[in-house]
């Protein structure tokens, strides 16, 4: 019996003369029929050391393609400064795009790349760098010259890298997405799609040597042709000489959906007759928001819809096949509903991007994996060689460790070297730091000294807080602790306009007021995802009683790795302190293994491992209660954990072998 061919053996035998073609009602690759069985994996959400494991698991399930987005905000973290794996940013270990593509090809997978500039992806600002906001009259995802000059510069760096990996040049990339759910803009009354912008993007692809199939993706039923380019061709009917217009779609269209595959595909076939049919995003599960229930999609529904896709027949990209983690401050947010000029429905996403996918956050097989493997085998017309399923990566729960050191917030503030004076509070993006790119992530502190505050005074922050604020007077917390989702409706959080806080019944003289504001994640999708993405206090003034407070000292608290690892002055911990502090503990391992940090005894903050921001925890909100700590982020030997707790700490760090989810009783249900 002849050995089965690999995907590359089969599709490149005899030389490569053509790429992926949609010129007929089925795909061909190098002039051979192909059905794309693809899965989404975001390289920047998975440690590089695990890329091969995850890709091999995908190939073992019978997938022939991997799909990934490319996040602009990671690859150009500062204006004109790029990081593709050696640029020196805190995320550089996740960013070697060339290595990822090479590894995919080595694991016998083709690749679909969605380079942006907008990616959504439940990712901070939909992948846009926050420094775009520094320019006046900025309008992302349009032909706005201010926006397009930055897109052009970035694409002229990124696209040549990707062009070298095209299938027709011997690489893995068979297709590029030009825009992402662009037709969804038409769902918001004040927006519309910009066809000039789409053509500008197309020209950038062409001028940078991209020759593979260009595609777009939208909900075919809701968005129609709103997210793509079209041309009108005049035809003449021979019999009655009546003229009519036929609409020709320039980009190949694909569909995004969770269910109703037949209806989506039937609509696609109406929009682009005699073309192949493909789901660019068949949603295998869903993501979580802080303060909402943990999302799962039943195995039965997953199997039913995937079966209907493959039976249609159609190609599919399962989004996500492996979700991974939004490390650092990189989770995005949704603006779920527009309610005039309110910020009520802002909904930040959790650190975990498990997505209830076929491969879990840490790469474990789930029942959906086995369902996908079985169905792909059932419908595949050509059988290929596949690897054995890799063994499950070991996980452990290390012994609990004790917090040994603390830095109080006033000490932390003294260690911030960049401090600026402003008459009124400003957005973090406008600070003159990071080589003129402003502050992207973390916290920003507004400090005012020398205040006389009478008893029962009222602090008022006009406008909205973006996104939450804690109030300190003389280093002591005077705002309310976060206890549950109901608190999001009160002072200190994004939902309340013109928030007011009683400062207590004591007279204070020569007092110091500090407002510590956190960016919980810029919108990646929704009504205000394009605009109003500034973070901090920037809309209006801050008052005590009727007096405007002016002349602030403003400082960024970014928690970059180099700064965190340089902190000094640590003291013995005092766990009776309620309010923001840094807490440190160490543990030693000879052979690091995957684990989870169980944060249920803590309240709200971030965790850093060896200086790297692992992510946020918000225990009272849920549903996520643990933080995934993969082995590649640990040292062989001594490891240092630093926790920035905003309210009430624990005296220990507890580990778990598995993720833990909990939904508080008063959770506010998602209105998606």
Q: Which residues are catalytic?
A: 181, 281
Q: Give the Cα separation of 621 and 160 in Å (integer).
A: 44
Residues 6+ apart with CB under 8 A from 91: 44, 74, 77, 83, 327, 328, 330
Q: For 199-238, give the secondary structure using H, E and C.
A: HHHHHHHHHCCCCCEEEEEECHHHHCCCCCCEEEEEEECC
Asked whether the beta carbons of 354 and 360 are under 8 A apart, the reply is yes
Q: Give the Cα separation of 158 and 283 in Å (integer).
A: 28
Q: Token match 């400062």: residue?
A: 503
In degrees rounded to 5, what are phi and psi of residue 2? Answer: -65, 145
Which DSSP letter does residue 43 get? G
Q: Which of 434, 412, 435, 432 is nearest to 422 (CA)?
A: 432
**Residue 435 region, left (φ>0) first, then alpha (ψ -120 to 50), else beta?**
left
Distances (CA, A) of 25 to 58, 206, 252, 267, 316: 27, 25, 12, 14, 15
Q: Give the Cα separation of 270 and 91 in Å (integer).
A: 43
From the number of C-beta atoms within 10 Å of its C-beta (0-12, 13-18, 19+), residue 590 rates as exposed
Asked whether the beta carbons of 401 and 576 are under 8 A apart, the reply is no
Q: Give the Cα separation of 166 and 142 in Å (integer).
A: 27
Helix axis angle for 145-163 and 195-207, nearest 10°, is 30
Asked whether the beta carbons of 484 and 622 are under 8 A apart, the reply is no
Q: Token match 């995957």: residue?
A: 594
Q: Which of 170, 180, 265 is nearest to 212 (CA)?
A: 170
Q: Token match 């896709």: residue?
A: 309
Q: Token match 């901070």: residue?
A: 124
The DSSP line for 162-173 is HHTTBGGGTSSE
Length of the chain equals 672
How many degrees, rounded to 5, is the angle at CA 574 between CA 407 and CA 404?
A: 65
Q: Which of 271, 194, 187, 56 is nearest to 527 (CA)?
A: 187
Q: Which of 647, 421, 444, 448 is nearest to 537 (CA)?
A: 444
Q: Coil, helix or strand for 196?
A: helix
């Amino acid at each position: 019996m002849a050995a089965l061919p690999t995907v590359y053996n089969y599709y490149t035998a005899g030389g490569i003369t053509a790429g992926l073609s949609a010129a007929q009602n089925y795909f061909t690759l190098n002039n051979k029929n192909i059905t794309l069985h693809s899965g989404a994996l975001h390289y920047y959400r998975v440690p590089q050391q695990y890329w091969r494991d995850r890709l091999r698991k995908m190939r073992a399930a019978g997938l022939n393609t991997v799909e990934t987005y490319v996040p602009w905000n990671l690859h150009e973290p500062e204006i004109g400064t790029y990081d593709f794996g050696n640029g020196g940013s805190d995320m550089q270990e996740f960013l070697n795009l060339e290595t990822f593509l090479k590894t995919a090809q080595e694991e016998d997978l083709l690749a679909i790349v969605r380079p942006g500039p907008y990616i959504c992806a439940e990712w901070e600002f939909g992948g846009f760098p926050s420094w775009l906001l520094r320019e006046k009259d900025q309008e992302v995802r349009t032909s706005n010259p201010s926006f397009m000059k930055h897109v052009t510069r970035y694409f002229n760096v990124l696209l040549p890298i990707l062009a070298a990996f095209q299938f027709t040049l011997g690489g893995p990339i068979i297709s590029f997405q030009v825009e992402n759910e662009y037709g969804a803009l038409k769902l918001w009354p004040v927006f519309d799609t910009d066809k000039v912008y789409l053509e500008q993007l197309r020209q950038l692809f062409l001028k940078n040597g991209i020759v593979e199939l260009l595609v777009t993706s939208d909900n075919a039923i809701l968005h129609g042709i709103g997210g793509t380019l079209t041309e009108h061709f005049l035809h003449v009917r021979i019999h009655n000489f009546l003229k009519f217009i036929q609409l020709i779609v320039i980009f190949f269209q694909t569909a995004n959906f969770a269910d109703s595959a037949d209806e989506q595909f039937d609509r696609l076939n109406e929009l682009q007759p005699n073309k192949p049919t493909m789901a660019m995003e068949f949603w295998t599960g869903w993501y979580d928001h802080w303060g909402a229930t943990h999302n799962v999609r039943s195995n039965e529904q997953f199997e039913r819809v995937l079966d209907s896709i493959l039976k249609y027949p159609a190609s599919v990209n399962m989004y996500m096949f492996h979700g991974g983690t939004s490390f650092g401050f990189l989770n995005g947010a949704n603006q779920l509903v527009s309610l005039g000029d309110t910020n009520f429905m802002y909904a930040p996403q959790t650190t975990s991007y498990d997505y209830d996918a076929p491969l879990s956050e840490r790469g474990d097989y789930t029942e959906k994996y086995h369902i996908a493997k079985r169905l792909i085998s059932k419908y595949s017309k050509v059988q290929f060689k596949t690897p054995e399923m890799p063994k499950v990566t070991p996980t452990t729960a290390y012994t609990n460790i004790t917090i040994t050191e603390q830095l109080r917030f006033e000490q932390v503030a003294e260690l911030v070297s960049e401090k600026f004076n402003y008459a009124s509070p400003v957005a973090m993006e406008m600070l003159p730091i990071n080589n003129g790119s402003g502050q992207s992530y973390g916290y920003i502190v507004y400090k005012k000294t020398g205040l006389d505050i009478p008893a029962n005074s009222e602090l008022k922050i006009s406008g909205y807080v973006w996104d939450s604020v804690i109030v300190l007077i003389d280093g002591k917390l005077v705002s309310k602790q976060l206890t549950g989702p109901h608190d999001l409706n009160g002072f200190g959080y994004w939902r309340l306009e013109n928030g007011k806080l009683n400062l207590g019944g004591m007279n204070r003289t020569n007092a110091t007021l500090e407002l510590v504001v956190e960016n919980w994640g810029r919108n990646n999708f929704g009504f205000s995802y394009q605009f109003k993405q500034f973070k901090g206090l920037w809309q209006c003034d801050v008052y005590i009683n009727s007096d405007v407070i002016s002349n602030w000292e403003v400082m960024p608290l970014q928690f970059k790795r180099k700064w965190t690892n340089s902190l000094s002055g640590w003291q013995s911990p005092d766990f009776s302190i309620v309010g923001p502090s840094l807490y440190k503990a160490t543990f030693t391992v000879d052979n690091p293994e995957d684990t989870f940090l169980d944060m249920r005894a803590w309240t709200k903050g971030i965790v850093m491992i060896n200086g790297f921001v692992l992510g946020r925890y918000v225990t009272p909100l849920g549903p996520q209660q643990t933080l995934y700590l993969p082995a590649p982020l640990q040292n062989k030997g001594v490891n240092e954990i630093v926790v920035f707790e905003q309210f009430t700490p624990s005296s220990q760090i507890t580990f778990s072998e598995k993720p833990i989810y909990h939904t508080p009783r008063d959770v506010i249900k998602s209105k998606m």
